[in-house]
Amino acid sequence: MNIVIVEDDINMRKSLEFALAEYKEFTVKTYKSAVDALKKIDSSVDLIVTDINMPQMDGIEFIKKLDGHYDIIVITGNATLNRAIESVRLGVKDFLTKPFEVDTLVDAIKRQVKIRKKIKITTNSEKINGDFIATSPALERVLNLSKKAARTDASVLLMGESGVGKELFANYVHKNSPREKRKFVAINMAAIPENLLESELFGYEKGAFTDATSSKKGHFELANGGTLFLDEIAEMPISLQAKLLRVLQERVITRVGGTKEIEIDVRIVSATNADIHECIEKGKFREDLYYRLNTIPVNIPPLRERKEEIEPIANHILKDVCKKYNLNELEFCDEALFELVSYKWPGNIRELISVVERAAILSDNSKITLEDLFLDSRNTNKTKSIDSMEKELIEEVLQSVKHDKVEAAKILGMSKISLDKKIKKYKVEV
């Protein structure tokens, strides 16, 4: 779970960061002002803990600017009853008065997790929007854009990390288009040897090469009237890109070994997880082809920015795996669910499927445990080390007192000698 702490008091801020770092299921970021926080927070944040009385922008104004997009817990030492009531009216989930025990804050955070699960998590496995098990605000924006694009014949370029489900989105565009009753044909540029790719795309005539004992239609002809999905388009050889550009411009193809032009009517959806602009700069991808393919760009957010979807997707996968392998019915324990939601998922949906399938097969219990997931070794960067947080604290305090080490030592509650040792240990610039 990604938590943001906004607190101008450095001791309180760092104390909370140290304390919450002990909890494996939490990833914590801190900011000394609401102004700083507004510049950095994004859709990956699950919950915000904020003070009310802060310079530059107070907590109430901060909460208003968040516009209800995040769960919020307020912590304050001297707020009036009116301000407390105002914060609750703005949708604040909990209100803690300083001083408080860290356990009290942890309980408040976990309470919000349970509430969110009841409100946001889809408990059945019915798919929504035709293809998707669950949605999040980030996914809804992409689906709305995809649906608008689907109504036209404009080329769509899907961009996103490996494993986000680009073919699923391509299919979604096809199913919401006037071509839905015709074929959806997919080809992965990276999966086919370069010397075979042209014939796979455009087909070949009998006798075009040694093994061509008969004519064969290519993917463009197979998709005629429907949609052709060109996956990993950045992997297309530069020699073929000119031919593809001509097909997109002229709407005709010529089979390998043939001379006859064949008219085609195909909607093109392409996808890449590469930095296409970098490919263009390096001369690996034609800029004119990019503009032809990129009429409507669709950026698919990674799974870590669609956290609301993780639990329902995982439950759906688990149910399918149990059925597939004839396993007893399984469910996730709370700790395992925390881990699934807080993990960064560099491999996105593809990795989630792999993790859940392995856990279900190897589990010896009625519930999948944290150990069954084997995510610890993958998640090495989930929380900052105590040393790194202490270094940050020292740097921040030194900066706040204009590098007066005597004053900094007083604020940090240590002797100047101890401070000098830590400055040397952490290589802090003074």
Question: Do residues 15 and 156 share a domain?
Answer: no
Put the strands of the sheet holding 27-31 in their side by side order: 27-31, 2-6, 47-51, 71-76, 94-97
Q: In this structure, what CATH number is given to the domain that contains residue 223? A: 3.40.50.300
Quick check: 408 and 394 in contact, CB under 8 A?
Answer: yes
| 226-241: pLDDT as tens digits | 999 999 999 999 999 9
In this predicted structure, what is the pLDDT of residue 18? 87
Range of the domain at 74: 2-119
Question: Do residues 255 and 335 share a domain?
Answer: no
Which residues fall within 8 angstroms of residue 218, CB to CB, at 6 or more apart? Answer: 199, 200, 201, 202, 203, 204, 253, 255
Q: What is the rounded CA–CA span in Å between residue 321 and residue 345?
A: 20
Question: Do residues 284 and 146 share a domain?
Answer: yes
Question: Do residues 151 and 254 share a domain?
Answer: yes
| 146-177: pLDDT as tens digits | 999 999 999 999 999 999 999 999 999 999 99
Question: Do residues 213 and 288 share a domain?
Answer: yes
Nearest to 430 by CA among 401, 396, 398: 398
Question: Do residues 293 and 146 share a domain?
Answer: yes
Of 56, 91, 119, the residue at which a domain comes to its end is: 119
* pTM metric for this prediction: 0.61
Please, is 75 exposed, middle or buried when counting C-beta atoms within 10 Å of its C-beta (0-12, 13-18, 19+)? buried
Question: Do residues 333 and 292 share a domain?
Answer: no
For residue 82, being part of any structural domain is answered with yes
For residue 228, being part of any structural domain is answered with yes
For residue 327, being part of any structural domain is answered with yes
Q: In this structure, what CATH number is given to the domain that contains residue 84? A: 3.40.50.2300
Q: What is the rounded CA–CA span in Å between residue 78 and residue 88?
A: 16
Written as tens digits, the pLDDT of the chain (430 aa) is 889 999 998 888 988 988 888 888 888 999 999 999 998 888 788 899 999 888 889 888 898 888 777 888 988 876 555 666 666 667 777 778 888 888 888 888 887 776 555 444 433 344 445 578 877 888 889 999 999 999 999 999 999 999 999 999 999 999 999 999 999 999 999 888 888 899 999 999 998 887 788 999 999 999 999 999 999 999 999 999 999 999 999 999 999 999 999 999 999 999 999 999 999 999 999 999 999 999 999 999 999 888 888 989 999 999 999 999 899 999 999 888 888 988 889 889 999 998 999 899 888 888 999 888 888 545 544 445 566 777 888 888 888 888 889 888 887 778 888 888 889 888 888 7
Q: What is the rounded CA–CA span in Å between residue 296 and residue 173?
A: 12
Question: Do residues 203 and 299 share a domain?
Answer: yes
Residue 406 exposure: Cα atoms within 13 Å on the Cβ side? 0
Q: What is the rounded CA–CA span in Å between residue 127 and residue 318?
A: 15
Nearest to 378 by CA among 419, 409, 346: 346
In this predicted structure, what is the pLDDT of residue 115? 59
Nearest to 20 by CA among 384, 307, 375, 340: 384
In 128-183, the DSSP E strands lie at 156-159
Rg (Cα) of the chain, in Å, rounded?
A: 27
For residue 88, being part of any structural domain is answered with yes
Ordered alpha helix ranges (H), 50-136 = 59-66, 81-89, 102-120
User: What is the domain count for the chain?
Assistant: 3
Question: Do residues 168 and 253 share a domain?
Answer: yes
